[in-house]
A = this chain, B = another copy of it.
Amino acid sequence: MSPEPTPAGPAPRLALATVCLSGTLQDKLAAAATAGFDGVEIFAPDLLADPAPPSEIGARCRDLGLSVDLYQPLRDIDSTDPDRFAANLRRADATFEVMAGLGADTVLVCSSVSPDAVADTDRLAGQLHTLAGRAHERGLRIAYEALAWGRHVGTWDASWDAVRTADHPALGLCLDSFHVLARGSDPAPVADVPGEKLFFLQLADARELSMDVLSWSRHHRLFPGQGGFDLPGFLAPVLAAGYTGPLSLEVFNDVFRQADPVRTAVDARRSLIALAEATARRAPGGAGTDPVATPAPALTGTAFVELTAGPELGRVLRALGFSRTGVHRTKQVERYEQGGARILVNAAGAANGDGAGGSAVAAIAVESADPVASARRAARLCAAPVPRVTGPGEAELAGVAAPDGTAVFLCRTADDGPGPAWPHDFVAVDEPPAAGTGITGIDHVGLTQPYDAFDEAVLFHRAVLGLDTVADGEFAAPFGLVRSRALADPDRRVRLALTVSVLRRGGWSPAVADPQYVALACDDVLATAAAAQAAGVPLLPVPANYHDDLAARLELPAATLAAYRGLGVLHERDAHGDYLQVCTELLGGRLFLALVQRTGAHDGHGWTDAPVRMAAHRRSRLARV
């Protein structure tokens, strides 16, 4: 067991821009407070649409325990036209008035995108100096930021040139990770900027997308850890420079804009905690950012998957060669095992299952090298605990709810720690063990995510479990595009395959809703599937057209191809190896099982063939209705 680490220094304050959230200003402030943020950035249009005067809004923030760390933005301030510049200063005065009411001392000034923007650095610096002087008189500060698409100032070092040249105590930089990293700028030299000139820091991640940077920025930003940017590599030099302000998120995202703001705010806060931790681990200078910087304990495998019982599940597991090895001491749960694969079947859940049959993934238990540290870490990362009744002498299973509602238990199967391990909760049954069909373990679990929770789920599993992205893509399914993301530990002992509709499904959605599956690993899928078929497992038929095409693409022996046709094998090949799978029919409304064989270093999850599988599942479901 790891000792509770001791705090290493004051934690940075965490802030959230109102642009990250859906709703009116009132909704947004309440959500930020509920999630435990220390402060907010208030976006001007949110304030303009609110009926309360700024002083009342400021008071509301204080009542909620939120400071107003930034008011934003003041746009297109500098101008080559003196009259325009004078009008802009009057506009700034009105903004200062609002800030006084709010109790905000810093305003964000973006580099101008206007045709009359000032190109000459000295002239620009002069105008910024004038602006800063007016702010200073009121005890306010100007944080100047380079928009990536600014007319003349588009990089952080160009903004630093202007700020350094202006040389005014009330003028400093606002750094935005998106603008810096989207342009591929190196953040390392930020470490040389005097810390007191770094007035504000805005953090955002993003997927690598090929589109104009403005659309990318305004629609597809993500919270740190959800995209592909190196945020710890950005934050480290900022902290090394001596920045002491809040870590603040400014994330424009189409999905977050229409999702429950409380949920988004919790996701946001989790991202900052994980980022501070990752930064502290990587950069010695950043250690002070994270008082409890413990890496996620290593995962050593999937302990078990718990399924709610549909009418067919027990029979199918037995036909697949699983042995029923135990029943729970106090709960209506049966344990089935084969090789390293352990599946719990929970009869209590059946009543709450979906109307079409009940079987669904209720829980995933991962083997942690240190379950206590894993649980502590999960709690720190705002994971909601799963309430669980533990009977006398039973194992203390620490469980948290993933964003899709699946319970995630952090546990150990071996008897090498204090207290009983989870297998002790089961009483052995007096049944002869099944012969088995060659299933060796659980390869992965596939879970369709709720539309609004996909990026949240990615971050959750990366941060809480320490998994990382091994595949990120999308495919054209019969009823719409599907986004896919696979997560795994470095040794590929625990894998999760997450999918979501690219657009939220509407009225026309006759597909299987929100499918889930458990992929069972085997070394010879043809043998395992043949045994399963012989034992009466309902295998999913695959169209002959698919195998005809496969034969034209791969050189396969005729006997293999014949076996493929008879068993419904789907076969993907890439440069690293092969991925073969045989799926069962749906066991109820949404769950199926898959037999999976990997050869070489194939790291896929069957997504190339998923459209064929999805059409087949729909077809056989229709045939049974």
B480 and A254 contact, CB distance less than 8 A: yes
Return the contact of A548 from the options B98, B258, B259, B553 (Cβ within 8 A).
Answer: B98
Residues of B within 8 A of A210 (CB): 211-212, 214-215
Choose among B45, B91, B451, B507 the residue that contacts A552 (Cβ–Cβ < 8 A). Answer: B91
With the chains together, A47 CA to B545 CA distance in Å? 7
Q: Which B residues lie within 8 Å of A98 (CB)?
A: 545, 548
Contact B552 A54 (CB under 8 A): no
Please judge, given known A-B contacts A22-B478, A94-B548, A212-B211, whether A258 and B48 are in contact too, CB under 8 Å.
no
The reply to whether A541 and B51 contact each other, CB–CB distance below 8 Å, is: yes
Partner of A24, one of B49, B259, B478, B480: B478
Stretch in A390-398, A439-447, A517-525, A609-617 touching the partner = A609-617
Known: A258-B503, A451-B506, A506-B452. A478 touches B545 (CB 8 A): no
Q: How far is the CA of A22 from the CA of B544 in the complex (A)?
A: 22
Decide: A552 near B94, CB < 8 A? Known: A24-B618, A481-B257: yes
Given contacts A215-B210, A479-B22, contact A546 B49 (CB under 8 A): yes
Q: Which residues of A409-447 have CB atoms within 8 Å of chain B's CB atoms?
A: none
Interface string of A22-56 (1 = CB under 8 A from B): 11100000000000000000001101111101100
**A22–B476 alpha-carbon span in the complex (Å):** 10
- Per-position 1/0 for A537-578, Cβ under 8 A of B: 000010111101101110000000000000000000000000
Pairwise interchain contact A254-B502, C-beta atoms closer than 8 A? yes
A452 CB, nearest partner CB in chain B, Å: 6
* Interface size of A as a range: 35 or more
The answer to whether A94 and B551 have CB atoms under 8 Å apart is yes
Residue of B nearest to A262 (CB): B508
Within the complex, the shortest CB–CB distance from A477 to chain B, in Å, comes to: 9
A6: Cβ under 8 A from any B Cβ: no
Partner of A545, one of B53, B91, B504, B553: B53
Look across to chain B and name the residue whose beta carbon is closest to the beta carbon of A618.
B24
Question: In this assembly, does A174 line the interface, its C-beta being within 8 Å of a C-beta of chain B?
Answer: no
Q: How far is the CA of A515 from the CA of B481 in the complex (A)?
A: 29
Chain B residues with Cβ below 8 Å from A380 are none
Contacts of A95 in B (CB 8 A): 552
Q: State A549–B94 Cα separation when bound (angstroms).
A: 7
Q: Give which listed residue, B49, B219, B508, B546, contacts A452 with CB less than 8 A.
A: B508
Bound together, the chains give a CA A290 to CA B340 distance in angstroms of 68
Check A611/B49 contact, CB under 8 A, given A261-B508, A506-B451, A548-B98. Answer: yes
Q: Contact flags (1/0) for A587-617 with B, using CB distance below 8 Å?
A: 0000000000000000000000001100110
> Quick one: closest B residue to A543, CB to CB?
B51
Residues in B neighbouring A2, C-beta threshold 8 A: none
Q: Given A91-B553, A211-B210, does the pair A612, B22 have CB atoms closer than 8 Å?
A: no
Measured in the bound complex, the distance between the Cα atoms of B502 and A258 in whole Å is 10
Quick one: closest B residue to A216, CB to CB? Answer: B211
A260 interface contact, C-beta 8 A: yes
Residue from the list B215, B258, B615 in contact with A49, Cβ < 8 A: B615
Whether A584 is near chain B, meaning CB under 8 Å from some CB there, is: no
A24 x B615 contact (CB < 8 A): yes
Contact A619 B549 (CB under 8 A): no
Please determine whether B509 and A258 come into contact, CB atoms closer than 8 angstroms.
Answer: yes
Query: In the bound complex, how far is the Cα of B509 from the Cα of A494, in angstroms?
Result: 36
Q: Does A79 contact B (CB under 8 A)?
A: no
Q: A24-B618, A212-B210, A508-B452 are in contact. Are A257 and B48 (CB under 8 A)?
A: no
Q: Does A374 contact B (CB under 8 A)?
A: no
Residues of chain B within 8 A of A173, CB atoms compared: none
Across the interface, A508 reaches (CB within 8 A) one of B24, B215, B258, namely B258
A497 at the interface (CB under 8 A from B): no
Residues of B with C-beta under 8 A to A619: 24, 51
Report the separation of the CA atoms of residues A507 and B451 in the bound assembly, to the nearest whole angstrom. 10
Is residue A84 contacting chain B, with contact meaning CB distance below 8 A? no
Question: Complex formed: what's the CA distance from A504 to B24 in Å?
Answer: 19
| A368 contacts chain B at the CB level, 8 A cutoff | no
Does A13 sit at the interface, judged by CB under 8 A? no
- Asked if A255 contacts B503 (CB within 8 A), the reply is yes
Chain B min CB distance to A493 (Å): 33
Q: Contact: B480 with A22, CB < 8 Å?
A: yes
B545 contacts A54, C-beta separation under 8 Å: yes
Interface centre among A50, A215, A501 (most CB of B within 10 A): A50
B90–A259 touching, CB < 8 Å: no
* Neighbouring B residues of A22 by C-beta, 8 Å: 478-480, 508
Contacts of A501 in B (CB 8 A): 258
The distance from the CB of A267 to the nearest CB of chain B, in whole angstroms, is: 13
Which of A95, A476, A508, A546 has most chain B Cβ within 10 Å?
Answer: A508
**Min C-beta distance of A31 to chain B, whole Å:** 11
Q: Is A505 an interface residue (CB 8 A)?
A: yes
Could you tell me the distance between the alpha carbons of A511 and B63 in the complex, rounded to whole angstroms?
A: 26
The 3 closest A-B pairs by CB, nearest first: A258-B480, A94-B552, A210-B212
Q: List the interface of chain A (C-beta within 8 A of B).
A: 22-24, 44-45, 47-51, 53-54, 90-91, 93-95, 97-98, 209-212, 214-215, 219, 254-255, 257-261, 451-452, 476, 478-481, 501-510, 541, 543-546, 548-549, 551-553, 611-612, 615-616, 618-619
A-B contact pairs, 17 of them (CB 8 A): A45-B612, A49-B478, A51-B544, A90-B552, A94-B548, A94-B549, A94-B552, A98-B548, A210-B212, A211-B211, A211-B212, A211-B215, A254-B480, A258-B480, A258-B501, A452-B507, A452-B508
A97-B548, A504-B504 are known; give 12 further A-B pairs, CB within 8 A. A45-B476, A48-B543, A48-B549, A51-B619, A94-B551, A98-B548, A210-B214, A254-B503, A257-B481, A258-B508, A260-B508, A452-B506
